[in-house]
Every structure is written in structure tokens, then in C-alpha cells.
Structure 1
Amino acid sequence: MGTCSCLGDANREIPNTLPEVIFQEHSTLAILYKNHESSMIPELKDVFCNLLSHRLSFITKIIIFDQELGDVGIEILAKVFPELKFLTRLHLKNNGIGCKGAMKLADTLGTVNTLEYLNITENILTDEGVDYICCCLPFLDKLKEVSLAQNEISYVGAEHIKDAISNLDALESLDISGNFINRRGIVKITSVLRGMINFKSFDFKGNDMNKTDCESVKNLLPHVICLFN
């Protein structure tokens, strides 16, 4: 079953249906809602209900676990990103997001400059998809946590991650576990993390490294919690 949340305060009342006036509007988002409401997953319905009801402050987090977004779901997310002025958490886990989906999300993800926690995990971004996501990261300068775990990323993708995080001064945690990154790729990322004064936690377990490699990386980050094989 999927897990969902898009509310900043669980005690706030969420409208179950959109006011009639909204259905009379002809904005792009209103039309998008009307066209796809019947097939829209509950998480996205919640976002739209609050967005089109002018309750932007309600949308502080979007969490979608174990649900296939598909082309339509990804397109909808990309359309609403520029409207989300209070979003601090975006967690997308096991949603079937591949390279094509990452490209669509990246079109507007960089506009969410309030984002502090970005987790796109257990998808199939691959090196090309992670490149699209990483192109957005320099615009998200409030990021404290980034997770790209289990996305079929190799040394090539590690290069993209290294370049992207070098501009994230607020970064505290990075999770790239469960990929196919070799020692050389991990060390390159580590070389950037060493100079980040706020950084606290690095999870790189389950990559293409032996125990000796992992220990050598840990030694490069003596003041950081390192999780590895």
C-alpha cells in the first residue's frame, strides 16, 4: 500500500471536494485537475485541493511511497512545483521514476527554493536521470538532506552528484546507498563533503566497494557519521 502526506499540520482541516467556483475557473491547473481527477492518486488530489483552494501554506511536504506515478503523475508534479511556496520536504520512493520522468521533474524542481529534504529513492534514475536531478540542486540552496539511494547510479552519476553538492552549504546528510558506485566515485564525493562545515551523515553502503575501501573513505571524514558495508 502507498504512503502519502502533503500536509504541514495534521490538525488542519482538508477540504474533501473543491469549491464549485474552482471548477468554473479556466486556469491551466484547474483544467489539469478536471482532466485527470478520476485517475489521480490521493496524494496529488490533496495537493490540488489545497493549491486550488488557495491554501498554499498547507503544502509543506509531499510524500509518495510505493505508488507508480506514470507519465501523467510526473507531469502533474512538474506543473505544480512552481506554485509550492512553502514546500520543505519531497519524498518519492519506489514510484517508477526513470530517466524520462527525472527530465520532466527537473524542468521545474529548481523553482522550489524552500526545499530542505529531497529524497528520490528506489527508483530507476540511472546516471542520465540523476544528471537531470543534479542540475536542479544548485538552485535548492536550503537543502539539508539529499537521498538518491537505490537508483542504479554508477561512477558517472557520482560525478554529477559531486558537482551538484559542492554548492549546498546547508547540506547535513547525503544517502547514495544501494547503487553501483566504485571507490573512485565515492572518494570524489567525499572530497567535496570534507569541506562542508555543516555536514554530519554520509550513507554509502551497498555500493561497489570492499571493506578496505569503505574504511579508507571513513578515515577521510573523521567527524562524520559514515554508514557502509
Structure 2
Amino acid sequence: MCTLELSENEIGAKGAQHIANALNNNKTLTTLSLGANQIGDQGAQQVANALNNNKTLTTLELSENEIGAEGAQHIANALNNNKTLTTLDLRGNQIKDEFDEATVDY
């Protein structure tokens, strides 16, 4: 088991892109913690793109990263292809429904 802990480092979308690039070639890392950074939707998209190719990561922690519905959708789409990730932490983000309940006709 190989772990990389990068929580609380002010890693933004650009930093997430570099990490995602490394994940594309990773053969040993099983746990990645990126909690309490500011990767946002753009960074989540980069990580999601890497999840499409990565075959070793089993745990990914993305809590408190300013990820919204768009970023969550990218990650969800990647999970359709990724068969190794078993734990995903998205607590404390801004993930909400894409529609406003006030505009829905019942």
C-alpha cells in the first residue's frame, strides 16, 4: 500500500492537473488524499480524467475542495470506467442538484 497525503496545501486546479498527469502513469499509489485544497470543478475534471486510466488507486479523498455539481458529474462519469477505486470522500464540497426546486412544477 502506497499513500500520498497532500491535504491542506492550497493546491488549486493547476496543481490538480499536475497530480492527475502523474496518476495517468502511476503503478503503485493506492491512496491519495487531497482534502482541504481548492481544486474546484476544473481540478475535479482533471482528476476524473486520470481515474479513467488509473488502475491502482483504491482510495481518493477530495473533501472540502470547492467541487460543485459539474466536478461531481465528471467524477461520476469516470467511475463508470474505473474498477479499482473503492473509497471516495467528497464531504464538505458544494455539490448540489443541478436544478432549483423552486422552479420545478409538481
Consecutive unaligned residues of structure 1, counting only runs of 5 or more, are 1-59, 61-87, 185-229
Q: 1:113 and 1:163 mapped to 2: Cα distance?
A: 22
TM-score, normalised by the number of residues in structure 2: 0.81
Identity of aligned residues (%): 35
In structure 2, which of residues 9, 30, 45 is the aligned counterpart of residue 116 of structure 1?
Answer: 30
| 3-state SS in 1 of match to 2:78 | helix
Instruction: Give the structure 2 partner of residue 133 of structure 1.
Output: 47
Consecutive unaligned residues of structure 2, counting only runs of 5 or more, are 99-106
Higher relative contact order, structure no. (Cα contacts within 8 Å, ≥ 6 residues apart): 2
Check 1:152–1:172 CA distance in 2 against 1; reply closer, same or farther (3 A cut). same
Instruction: Give the structure 2 partner of residue 95 of structure 1.
Output: 9
CA drift at 1:108:
2.5
Check 1:101–1:171 CA distance in 2 against 1; reply closer, same or farther (3 A cut). closer
TM-score, normalised by the number of residues in structure 1: 0.40
Question: What is the identity, as a one-letter code, of the residue corresponding to 2:85?
Answer: L
| 3-state SS in 2 of match to 1:118 | strand
| 3-state SS in 2 of match to 1:131 | helix
Runs of 4+ in 1 over 4 A off after TM superposition: none
Instruction: Give the structure 1 partner of residue 104 of structure 2.
Output: none
CA drift at 1:90:
1.6
CA RMSD, Structure 1 to Structure 2 (Å): 1.7
